[in-house]
Amino acid sequence: MSAEPDAQRYFDGLYERSDDPWLLRERWYESRKRALTLAMLPDAHYARAYEPGCATGELTAELAPRCDALLAADLSADAVTLARRRVAHLSNVKIEQRAIPDDWPDGRFDLIVISELAYYLDESQLARLAARIESSLAPGGTIIACHWRQPIEGWPHSGDFVHAELRATLPLARLSHYQDEDVLLDVWSSNAASVHRREAR
């Protein structure tokens, strides 16, 4: 997430009030959204994945069985502590504190998950995020973005704006798209093959 002081205070304040600010463990909306995210991934398994903005690690825990190695990160120290506790039993997962987009990890990733994150970035940061994603995506790799479509008090961008910017910026094939009144998901890959054609090879 953004390293700007207002973003840091915003997320620190959320975690001071609750160890699950978005009710990730309780709401059907959140469980359903994770299921949609996982179902839209075109490959059954990924060698190395990155999930910035992991919050308390609920999606991280569900992604882990499909990854050889999964790095997840969050701006909030409290979120990192909670996420580490959530995935402590998973030896293939590492949780770090990082500010996105500038504190980006080294190396290439076969899967990058941008979930409920990018509308907290300003337009310059969003452009840098897209550049980071493109430069660190391994050949044939997948990007999935998932965002809430309703207004977020205090933040200027919507999920629709974020996905429009990513569509305009990423030079990749869009494999699939889902939207309803609440949520928007897009999948891009440098491998344009469908799920069926990937399996047939």
Query: Per-residue pLDDT tens for 58-84?
Result: 999 999 999 999 999 999 999 999 999
Q: Where are the domains of the chain?
A: 5-200
CA atoms within 13 A on the CB side of 172: 27
What's the whole-model pTM score? 0.91
CATH superfamily, domain 5-200, is Vaccinia Virus protein VP39 (3.40.50.150)
Burial (Cβ within 10 Å: 0-12, 13-18, ≥19) of residue 49: buried
Contacts of 42 (CB under 8 A, 6+ apart): 142, 175, 176, 187, 189, 191, 194, 195, 198
Lay out the sheet containing 109-115: strands in order across.
Answer: 93-97, 67-74, 46-52, 109-115, 137-148, 183-189, 173-179
Tell me the C-alpha distance between 126 and 176, whole Å: 21
* Mean pLDDT value across the chain: 91
- Residue pair 167/186 in contact (Cβ under 8 Å)? The answer is yes
Burial (Cβ within 10 Å: 0-12, 13-18, ≥19) of residue 37: buried
Q: Higher model confidence: residue 8 or residue 178?
A: 178
